[in-house]
Amino acid sequence: MGDQAVPAGRNRGFPKGITPMLRLQALLPDRYTLASSEEIEEWIGAAKAALGSKLLILGHHYQRPEVIKWADARGDSFKLATSSSAACTSWPSRPTSSPASISASSSRI
């Protein structure tokens, strides 16, 4: 067996020779995937208003236009990683809110 990847389960209808593998990223809840453009824009606008300069929105090339229009930086994964790294090091001080408290306050959005 050696270093072979571990299949996520038995073959459930995949084409011959294709083995499903373990998915590490969770699926987004329907609230986000089924949201209208107006809902997305309302949520992002509210988050930007609430968090101000503590919020950096990264726009990956595959995201919906209503998300991209709010992006502070746009590009592929490498460009976004370098942009966010530069933005974080240029902040005058570390954000006072922890990610948990930001998530809790953003959950109303």
- The per-residue pLDDT for range 49-100, each reduced to its tens digit, is 999 888 888 898 888 888 888 899 999 989 988 888 887 776 655 555 555 4
Tens-digit pLDDT profile for residues 6-57 = 444 554 566 677 666 666 777 888 988 898 989 988 999 999 999 988 888 8
For the whole model, what pTM was predicted?
A: 0.52
CA distance 96 to 29: 28
Please state the φ and ψ torsions of residue 11, each to the nearest 5 degrees. Answer: -65, 125
For the chain, where are the alpha helices, taking DSSP H only?
30-33, 37-51, 65-68, 77-90, 99-106
Residue ranges per structural domain of the chain: 30-106
